[in-house]
Amino acid sequence: MQKDSFSKFKALLRRSHSIVIVTHWSPDGDAMGSSLALYNYLKKTGKKVSVITPNDYPEFLNWLPGNKQVVDFLKQEKKAMGLIRKADLIFTLDFNNFKRLEKLGDVLSQSPAAKVMIDHHQQPDAYATLYYHDVKASSTCELVHEFIVGLGGKKLIDKHIASCLYTGLMTDTGSFKYDSVTPQTHRIIADLLETGIRISDIHSAIYDTYSEHRMRLLGYCLTEKMVVLPEFSAAYITLNASELARFQYQKGDTEGVVNYPFAIKGIKFCAFFSEAEDKIKASFRSKGKFDVNQFARKHFSGGGHINAAGGKSDENMDATILRFVALLTEYKKELAN
Ligand code: 5GP
Ligand code: MN
C-alpha cells in the first residue's frame, strides 16, 4: 500500500487548474466509473477537468454521467494532445504502467505535468508525483470514494458521482462476490445508496444490454469452444477473428465470457483467448491461490491482480494454445492446491 497524505493531495490540487484524467486501454466499468466519478467531483470543486481514454469503450458504459465529454485519443488525437499540453495535473486511474495505454502512454510519459496514480493493480511503476495505491482495494472506484472523502468532499457525492462509483465497485467485484469485498466495501455501498441511486437500473444498464448476436456468441463459446481440463482444474475458450465476425462482434461482447467455466465444479483456473488485429488477447481468472498476475506477467506480457489478469501473445492462436497447455503441465502442482 502506498498512500500519500491528504495534505499533499490538497496542496497539489490547490495549485492545479487544468486537470486531465486518463485510464487504461479498453476501459472497463471500473476504469470509466472511477474516471467519471473523479471528473464529476473535481468539476464540482470548480476545476477545469477532462477525461481522455486511449481508445473506445463498450456502449453499455455510455450512460455514465459525464460520458459525453470523454475524449478518445485514437479518434481525437489533436484535441487530446491539446488538453495534455495544457494540463498541470494528470490523474492516472485503474492502471499503473504506461504500457497499458499504448500510444497515449508514450505521450504521458513525456508530459511534465504532475501525476497522481489511483490504482489497485499489483506492482506499480514509479512514474507518479503522488500515489493512492492499494492492491487490497476491491476496485479503483473504492479508492476514488476514499480519496474524495479524504479530501473532505463527502457532501459533494451526489447521485451522478455515486452511480459512477457503484458501477466500478459492482463490475470489479463480480457484483460483490469476490474476496476483495470487505465490510468497508459494503459501508461505501450504503453511503452511495443514501444518495438515491437505483441499483437495479445500474445493474440492467450494464448487464442486460446483450444484442442477440452477443447472446448467441456466448452460447457458441460454451457449447463449441470451451475446453475443460479437469486434470489441471482448468478450462479455456478461444475465439478467432472469423468466429468474432460471424457473430458480428462489437467491443465488449466477450466481456465476462472467461468466468463462465467457474460454474463447473472443481474449475479453479479459466483462460480466454481472442484474436485481435496483430495479436492474441488473453484473459486469465483464478479462484484461490493460483496467481494469474504472475502467470500473465511471466508468460503473456501482461499483469493485473492475483485472481484476474490479462495479457497478449504475438504467436498465432494454435501456437498460443500449445504453449498455454504446456504451461498447465508446468504449473500442475500449483493448480492442484
Ligand atoms: P481482462 O482480462 O478483463 O482484460 O483484465 C483483467 C485484469 O487484468 C484487469 O484488471 C486489467 O486491468 C488487467 N490487465 C488486462 N490486460 C492487461 C495487460 O496486458 N497488462 C497488464 N499489466 N494488466 C492487464
Ligand atoms: Mn479496476
CATH number at residue 243: 3.10.310.30
How much is the pLDDT for 207?
Answer: 95
Whether residues 92 and 227 fall in one domain: no
The β-bridge relationship of strands 303-304 and 308-313 is antiparallel
Number of structural domains in the chain: 2
Domain boundary among 162, 178, 207: 207
Please identify which residue in the block is written with the cell numbers 498541470.
88
Domain boundary among 175, 207, 239: 207
Whether residues 175 and 243 fall in one domain: no
Sheet holding 48-53, edge to edge: 2-3, 130-133, 114-119, 89-93, 18-23, 48-53, 71-72
Cα 37 to middle of ligand 2, angstroms: 14
Whether residues 30 and 135 fall in one domain: yes
> Is the distance from CB of 133 to CB of 3 less than 8 angstroms?
yes
Whether residues 184 and 282 fall in one domain: no
Cα atoms found within 13 Å of the Cα of residue 335, Cβ hemisphere only: 22
Cα 286 to middle of ligand 1, angstroms: 13
Containing structural domain, residue 280: 212-336
Measure the CA–CA gap between 166 and 250, rounded to whole angstroms: 24
How much is the pLDDT for 277?
Answer: 85
Given a cut of 50, the residues of the chain with pLDDT beneath it are none
Measure the CA–CA gap between 62 and 58, rounded to whole angstroms: 7
Residue nearest atom 11 of ligand 1, based on CA coordinates: 304
How much is the pLDDT for 337?
Answer: 76
Find the residues whose C-beta lies inside 6 A of ligand 1.
Answer: 24, 97, 100, 283, 302-305, 308-312
Cα 15 to middle of ligand 2, angstroms: 28
Whether residues 173 and 225 fall in one domain: no
How much is the pLDDT for 229?
Answer: 98
